[in-house]
């Protein structure tokens, strides 16, 4: 069977081979109507571009990487889906790298994406920072998600997508304050991990604005996991004066706290209000349904993909760009 060539598609549509190439790759502007006709003809004729030939011609691999701390956290598969919504349509394949919450494994992935000569990488850094060897790698487009790293070094070398975690956690705390809670506990991950510090800062700021003092006795440091939430609330409830509400640094922690409440016959929200953060899918499926701060993770993935494509194709070569995604409080049954 003869392989369908780009020339066959060009003849069918009545345009040049160059136009077909640009329509399929997105490297140059092509009228939308022409793009539609080229894609329809490619599909009907069974045309598949040669990846090897394209890479040799363009000196690009058409491969990207996404490095995340933990794929078991539903936050990241949703983000990956949004990223692929953009990249797949532009002809890029994406390697998904799960660091499994291990800094050494994340470091290995950093080295591998450089060795594999991927065209671009999206990083949600485990400890909030990105090594200089990634940011300064030649020809590597980089988008950093929710980095705690700030200042000229990062600003010069990478586009960023972020959410205002401090403001988001303030929304959650203010919701509990409006509900009449005066003694509010907090379960966090270690402050050096991901967005933990920013979210805790939002909690403290909301209490200060309301004229409240937070009590170290009802603050627990754990991990961004369901098990961590169970252990964290277990610790807090041993306090001589337990809280009437607890804020959690993410939804997995909150769901774990709800597990502990169920095991101790603590009624939610009658005895204890619980608020999470992220709005992962299980948040609306647990009972009672979890009040949380929604981060549109798929939108984060799409925004990251748009920034990456702009750099990889050369459509954007200017100063680093930052996209900020807004958070929303989703009030449900747990408060």
Q: pLDDT tens digit string along 100-154?
A: 888 888 888 988 888 888 999 999 988 767 777 777 777 789 999 976 544 434 4
Kindly tell me if the per-residue pLDDT of 160 is higher than 60.
yes
Q: What local confidence, expressed as pLDDT, does residue 27 receive?
A: 63
Strands 184-188 and 245-248: parallel
Give the tokens for residue 296. Answer: 């549109």
Mean pLDDT of all residues belonging to the chain: 88
pTM of the model: 0.74
pLDDT tens by residue, 23-34: 877 667 788 889
Q: Using 50, 70 and 90 to split pLDDT, how confident is the model at 52?
A: very low
CB 288 within 8 A of CB 332: yes
Between residues 130 and 312, which one has the greater pLDDT? 312
160-199 b/e with 16+ CB inside 10 Å = b?
A: bbbbebbebbbbbbbbbbeeebeebbbbbbebebbbbbbb
Residue 273 host element (H or E): strand 273-275
59-81 b/e with 16+ CB inside 10 Å = b?
A: ebbbbbbbbbbbbebbbbbbbbe
Distance CA 177, CA 183 (A): 9
The residue to which tokens 């022409």 are assigned: 34
Distance CA 13, CA 103 (A): 51
Count Cβ atoms below 10 Å from residue 89 Cβ, excluding itself: 12
Kindly tell me if the per-residue pLDDT of 190 is higher than 90.
no
């Amino acid at each position: 069977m003869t392989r369908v060539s780009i020339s066959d598609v060009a003849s069918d549509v009545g345009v040049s081979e160059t136009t077909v190439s640009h329509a399929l790759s997105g490297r140059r502007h092509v009228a939308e109507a022409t793009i539609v006709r080229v894609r329809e003809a490619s599909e009907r004729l069974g045309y598949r571009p040669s990846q090897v030939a394209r890479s040799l011609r363009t000196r690009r691999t058409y491969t990207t990487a996404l490095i995340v701390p933990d794929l078991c956290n539903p936050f990241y598969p949703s983000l990956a889906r949004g990223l692929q919504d953009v990249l797949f349509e532009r002809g890029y394949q994406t390697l998904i790298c799960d660091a499994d919450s291990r800094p050494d494994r994340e470091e290995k992935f950093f080295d591998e994406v450089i060795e594999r000569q991927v065209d671009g990488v999206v990083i949600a850094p485990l400890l909030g920072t990105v090594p200089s060897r990634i940011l300064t790698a030649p020809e590597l487009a980089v988008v950093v998600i929710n980095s705690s790293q700030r200042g000229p070094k990062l600003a010069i070398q990478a586009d960023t997508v972020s959410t205002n975690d401090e403001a988001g956690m303030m929304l959650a705390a203010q919701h509990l304050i409006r509900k009449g809670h005066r003694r509010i506990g907090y379960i966090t991950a270690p402050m050096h991990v991901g967005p933990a510090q920013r979210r805790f800062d939002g909690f403290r700021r909301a209490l200060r604005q309301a004229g409240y003092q937070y009590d170290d006795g009802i603050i627990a440091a754990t991990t961004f996991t369901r098990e961590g939430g169970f252990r964290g609330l277990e610790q807090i409830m041993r306090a001589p004066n337990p809280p009437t509400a607890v804020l959690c640094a993410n939804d997995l922690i909150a769901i774990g706290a709800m597990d502990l409440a169920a095991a101790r016959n603590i009624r939610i929200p009658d005895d204890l209000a619980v608020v999470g953060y992220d709005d992962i899918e299980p948040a609306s499926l647990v009972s009672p349904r979890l009040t949380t701060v929604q981060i549109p993770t798929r939108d984060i993935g799409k925004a990251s993909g748009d920034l990456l494509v702009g750099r990889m194709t050369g459509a954007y070569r200017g100063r680093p760009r930052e996209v900020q995604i807004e958070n929303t409080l989703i009030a449900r049954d747990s408060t």
